[in-house]
Amino acid sequence: MLTRRTFLQSSIVAGGSLVAGAPLVLPARLFGAQAPSVRVRVGFIGTGNQGMGLLKRFLAAELGEVVAVCDVNEGSFGYKEPDHFYGRLPAKQLVEADAKKRIKSGVVPTCEAYADFRKLLDRQDIDAVVIVVPDHWHRIISVMALEAGKDVYCEKPLTFSVADGRPLIDAVRKHKKVFQTGSHERSNPVSQFVCEAAKSGKIGTLQKIVTKVGYNNKVGPGPGWQPMPVPATFDYRAWLGPAPEAAYHVDRCLYRFRFHYDYSGGQITNFGAHCNDMAHWGMDLDVGGPTEIECLDAKFLPAGSLFNTATETRFRCKYANGVELICESGPEMVQTRFEGTTGWLQTGYKGTTASDPSLLKDCPPAAKGTNDPHSAHLANFVECVKTRKEPRAPVEVGNSSAVLCHIANAMIRLFPETGPVVAKWDAQNEKFIDNDEANRMLIREERNPWG
């Protein structure tokens, strides 16, 4: 039986060259994606802070073959930290250096670097893509990747607006593709233990959940900031894409895009996409949402600042099962606390605690190395690409968690005008009840990104 390995071996002649006319690669699906010997061929779209981190983990764990990378930035310093040099050329060099290190003899494969993700999606030899771009591009690139026949790993928050969710879900199910949301806590053994313990009643009947999201971890220019010249190596027009026209400033892009509502939702959709996803998980509500929501407090930077997302927030949700969720800003970055009738469990980036140490008796240690939560989440995706099973954070789960963050942001943004207002939420139809102003914030207007 012809396999990818035997095909390539039969195509190579003495001296390491290929038989004239023989292709270098064939897509995994040609040989049957369920064959465990097949190395999944992957393209990375977005090689900035998070993208480069996932790429390094993917290579270290030897999860597959990275054949292409894409970013609108050729390469520059100043991502999350000043000395971070990321972009498509650093990513290409990283992949090729890794291949050279692993392959002791024969032809070392090259990694193609693209500025336009559409060229990467046009390649028939790519099985799956990892999408790590600003939030306002998530749905567009994901749907186009699905239409191109690729399985997709897309970073959280899965969507940029509530209106993004249904088209994305429909595309995943129509094209019958594997889709993993980058909610890596779903692959964290400690988070798995705590959420499953809360769900199974180990702390009695669940009554209240308190989640924490970190304060803004970057400072942007205040009122009176001045535009900057666009770097020659950065395609700013492509970066903006469907977002409104705006003068370039380095703090608008790279890591700091998350602090502007035109591209993201602040720490509510950044850290909140993790802690509130765990909240839904622990109350056994992977798909669905609250019945009401209320913003209790919100603080913003002075008008005219480049960053405009809330710097501190506190909101409350009520669910049909009687559970109350309080989400608030704090120094913890990501934390979820489940309070039941007989005890409580709490987990997050600062550790895991409980009302009684015996509740944590069987809690596994935090995974490290090539099995850390990010790596394990990527590994789960690759395994599902091969087996065609559902991954740990499928599209419906990612959408549900993102919707909670989006409706919270709607109430947060209205807070300076309205103060605390209890808004009724129809989770099934994903709209506010009798609140037109809040409903208008569930849809983001988009420019033609190709115009």
Beta strands in 78-148 (DSSP E): 112-114, 128-131
Query: What is the pLDDT, as a whole number, of residue 107?
Result: 84
Q: How far apart are CA 130 and CA 173, in angstroms?
A: 18
Q: How far apart are CA 379 and CA 371, in angstroms?
A: 9
Class of domain 37-184: alpha beta
Domain boundaries, the chain: 37-184, 185-366+395-441
Beta strand 334-340 with 324-330 is unpaired
| Helix, strand, coil abundance in the chain, percent, nearest 5 | 35, 20, 45
Alpha-carbon separation of residue 333 from 91, 217, 348, 349 (angstroms): 28, 9, 8, 7
37-184 shares its CATH topology with 185-366+395-441:
no
Query: What is the pLDDT, as a whole number, of residue 6?
Result: 35
Tens-place pLDDT, residues 366-417: 888 889 999 999 999 999 999 999 999 999 999 999 999 999 999 999 999 9
Query: What is the pLDDT, as a whole number, of residue 104?
Result: 79
Residue (of 23, 42, 28, 236) closest to 121 by Cα position: 42
Query: What is the pLDDT, as a whole number, of residue 175?
Result: 98
Per the confidence metrics, is the pTM higher than 0.75?
yes
Q: How far apart are CA 73 and CA 133, in angstroms?
A: 12
Rg (CA), the chain: 23
Query: What is the pLDDT, as a whole number, of residue 355?
Result: 98
Q: What is the layout of strands, in order, in the sheet containing 65-70?
A: 112-114, 65-70, 41-45, 128-131, 151-154, 179-181
Check whether the bond before 157 is cis (ω within 30° of 0). yes
DSSP state of 210: E
Give 88's contacts (C-beta < 8 A, 6+ positions apart). Answer: 47, 69, 70, 71, 73, 74, 75, 113, 114, 115
Q: How many CB atoms lie under 10 A from the CB of residue 365?
A: 7
Query: What is the Cα 372 distance to its own chain's centre?
Result: 16
As given in the structure block, the two tokens for residue 413 are 């943004």
Q: How many CB atoms lie under 10 A from the CB of residue 82?
A: 8
Q: How far apart are CA 382 and CA 389, in angstroms?
A: 10
Residue type, 151: D
Residue (of 109, 148, 113, 114) closest to 128 by Cα position: 148
Query: What is the pLDDT, as a whole number, of residue 43?
Result: 98
As given in the structure block, the two tokens for residue 426 are 């129809």
Report the chain (451 residues): mean pLDDT per 10 consecutive residues: 34 31 39 55 98 98 97 96 96 97 85 98 98 98 98 98 98 98 98 98 98 96 98 98 98 97 98 98 96 98 98 98 98 97 97 97 91 97 98 98 98 96 97 97 94 71
* Residue 97 falls in which region: left (phi positive, over 0), alpha (psi -120 to 50) or beta: alpha
Q: How far apart are CA 403 and CA 309, in angstroms?
A: 17
The CATH code of domain 185-366+395-441 reads 3.30.360.10
Q: How far apart are CA 183 and CA 192, in angstroms?
A: 12
